[in-house]
Structures are given as structure tokens and as C-alpha cells.
Structure 1
Amino acid sequence: MAETDRITGLTLPRGARVGLLGGSFDPAHRGHAHITREALKRFGLDRVVWLVSPGNPLKAHGPAPLAERMAQARRVMRHPRVIVSDAEARLGTRYTAQTLARLRGRHSEVRFVWLMGADNLRQLHRWDNWRAIMDQVPVGVMARPGDRMSAQTSVAARVYAGARLSEAASQLLPLCDAPAWCFVNLPMSDASSSAIRAGGGWSA
């Protein structure tokens, strides 16, 4: 049985394929739940961890209190293989590259995959130390209608064009050594589409 790490608070089995979906989740909505369920299937993941961040450096205004956002996330995402976590606050990290480095150090036998919407791939080159994200773990990119072309021609997509895995091979992504990334197109339900419009997109 897996042990709970005393720093991150996460219980992750050795060798598990674990997707990480990070963001402020302010608030979490059905769009987040939709892409999480799809990520579990499309990338062959054992778990997905929602990393609810203390704050987003790219957003001008601070989010709602962390405890409030955590509670909302747990109400929205009820799934036995999804964990809502405050690991980033526990680790004291501010940027994704830092968080990934610490998580990999604390859970060295876990196969992590960073998950993001195509809208985030489009702006990834603006993130702090963004190349370290791509170079540390495989990245799964999930596209909704309208985001596909601009994301696939983004700075990050061009720089790491040689590391792209075909959509047909998406379930192999957790087994790949970084850099590796895979772009998948997701079906959209009416419920998730309306939630995304109301929430301003998939960006957590």
C-alpha cells in the first residue's frame, strides 16, 4: 500500500501514472471535470491530481481563499481516481517548474504527466522557466473547438515539434521520457460547453 508523503500530503502508488492539472480553480466547474475524465481515458492515467494553487502569477487579482476553492473543487469533481490537493501551498512553490521539481523529488517512482488545455499551450512561453516544464515531465494537451490551430502553431509547439507524440499513441505518453507531448481533441458535451463559457475557458 502506498504511503502518504508528509510534505505533499499525497498518497501515490509506486509506478502510478499520475496526471497533474494545476491552476487557481477560481472556481472549479464542470469543464474542469470533463477534461479530467477525458484525460484519465486518453492518456491511460491511474490518477489525476488537481493542484489548487495559492495564486496565479499571470493573473492580476488574487483568487478566493484556498480552503474555499478546495471545497468547491471537491464538490465539482467526485471521482475515485481524482485527488484535489493543496500540495503547492504545502511545498511553498509559486511556479509550475518549481512545483514539478519538488513533486518529482518527493515521489520519484511516480510517472507524472502535466495536463493543460490548448489555451495554456498557446501562452506557455510566457510561463516562468517554461522549458523546464517540458523537459521534466511529459505534457498532455487537450483541445476544445477553436483552440486547435493557434495552439499547434504556438512558440512551445514549434520549439518542441520533434518531441510530439501522435494522438493515436496518446496512452503511451506517461511511459515516455521528457520532453514528450501529445495533443488530443476532445468531444464536448453540452454541459461542459456551457460551463466553460460561463467560467471563461479551461484555464484553471
Structure 2
Amino acid sequence: MPHVERGMAVGLFGGSFNPPHEGHLLVAEIALRRLGLDQLWWMVTPGNPLKSRSELASLADRLSMSEKLVQDPRIKITAFEKTLEGSYTANTLAVVKAKNPQARFVWIMGADSLSTFHNWQKWREIVSTFPIAVVDRPGSTLSFLSSKMARTFDYARVDEDDAGTLWKRKAPAWTFIHGPRSTLSSTALRAGSDDKTQ
């Protein structure tokens, strides 16, 4: 787990990164800038319970590709989840919170994950652990209106203009951040498709 100083604001950006690409990097850069973060942890997960393992590159390869892609020293590439029992996000966030009571965290996710977020194990617990920033992705701009999470926690939505205060807020609190979008996707890159919007 990366080192964090007292009072730091840290974004947690988890995913398979299979492979990592410029779209992921754009989400990370937008989050750093718009949320006023000191660090962002690029958390490469050992696996994803909602995705097939047969398509998954090795953890070492995904870490190596991430390190080659990311140049910003504020972005810390890590795979600490490998050392935890169970790779579910709710468990990871609970451990992060327990081990780093001196820091403030925000969970970062692409808008493309919002529509299926209610299928994640203990998704309500995730929303209640740390504030969440949802960053726009192509084809997902309206997900903040239609997703189950957005409807359930509509009362906790923070205006995008106040995104820079999100890390100071007590969960549940979330915001949707619009901005430049990349049409790249890991699925399309794995398939070698010309259509990068799948």
C-alpha cells in the first residue's frame, strides 16, 4: 500500500487495467485536477469477479504496462489487493480506511461502471465508506440519471462545481464529473478491434 501523509487527499482508482490505456489515464488526470487530490492510487486488481479470468493478462504484465503508461509521480501504481483476502472492493476500502485514518480518500470510477455498480458485492457499503467521484466516459454520460446507485443516493449527490470539496465530505457523497473523454476501451484493445467504443 503506498505511503500517505496525514491530511492528504487521495483518489482510489481500481480496475483490471487489462490492458491499461489512455482512457484510464485521462480519468486519473481529470480526478487529480478536478478533485484537488495530492495522490491517486492506480490499484491493479488481481481479478474481477464480474469478468472472465480467461481474458486476463497476468498481474505482473498489467502492472508493467501501467508503469510504462503513467508518468505523473502523484499516481502510485500498486497491486496491494493481492495481499488481501478476497478481492472485493468493499473489503479493500475497509482495509484502506483502517490502515490510513490520517488521510482522506475518494473512490474514483469511470461512468461506464456506474450502470452495473449495484451488482458489486456490498455496493451500498462502498458508497457509505468513502465519497465517490464518477468521471464521464463515452456512451455513459446519462448513467448518473438512470443507474440504481445514482437513484438510491440521489440525496447525497454533490454538484460538479463543488467537486474540489468532495474529499472533505463524509460518505455517502458523490459527484459526476464531465470533461474530455477517450473512446479507448480495454475490451476493444484486447479484441484488436477498429471500433474502440465497445
TM-score (norm. length: structure 1): 0.88
- Unpaired runs of at least 5, structure 1: 1-7
Question: What is the distance in 1 between the residues matched to 2:187 and 2:5?
Answer: 36
CA contact (8 A) 2:106 2:131 kept: yes
Deviation at 1:19, TM superposition (A): 0.3
1:162 maps to which residue? 155
Give the 3-state SS of the residue equivalent to 1:120 in structure 2: helix
How many Å separate the matches in 1 of 2:172 and 2:146? 18
**Root mean square deviation of aligned Cα:** 2.0
Note the residue ranges of structure 2 that are not aligned, 5 or more in a row.
191-195
- Following superposition, the deviation at residue 198 of structure 1 comes to 4.0
Work out whether 1:13 is the aligned partner of 2:5.
Answer: yes
The one-letter amino acid of 1:74's match is: E
Residue 152 (1) aligns with residue 145 (2): yes
In structure 2, what residue type is equivalent to 1:193? Answer: T
* Offset, 1:150: 3.0
Q: How many residue pairs end up in the alignment? A: 192
Cα-to-partner distance string for 1:117-176 (whole Å, 9 max, x where unaligned): 111111110000000100000000001342111342210000000000000101000000
Match for residue 119 of structure 1?
112
Q: Tell me the equivalent position of 2:88.
A: 95
Kept in 1, the 8 Å contact 2:35–2:163? The answer is yes
> Cα–Cα, structure 1 residues 152 and 79, in superposed 2: closer, same or farther, change >3 Å?
same
Instruction: Select which of 22, 25, 34 maps to 1:30.
Output: 22
Quote the residue 1:143 is aligned against.
136
In percent, how many aligned pairs have the same letter? 40
- Distance in 2 (alpha carbons) for counterparts of 1:196 and 1:103: 27
2:131 & 2:88 partners in 1: Cα distance? Answer: 17
Tell me what 2:176 maps to.
183
Which residue identity is paired with 2:36? G
Distance across 2 between alignment mates of 1:82 and 1:126? 28
Counterpart CA distance in 2 for 1:89 and 1:138 is 24
Question: Structure 2: how far apart are the matches of 1:122 and 1:54?
Answer: 22
Q: Which amino acid aligns with 1:58?
A: L
Q: Using the TM superposition, give the Cα deviation of residue 193 of structure 1 relative to its aligned residue in structure 2, in angstroms.
A: 3.1
Q: 1:168 is matched by which residue type in structure 2?
A: D
| Alignment check: 8 A CA contact 2:20 2:186 kept | no
Partner of 1:193: 183
How far off is 1:27 after superposition?
0.7
The answer to whether 1:50 aligns with 2:50 is no
1:100 alignment partner, SS class:
helix
CA distance in 1, matches of 2:166, 2:175: 7
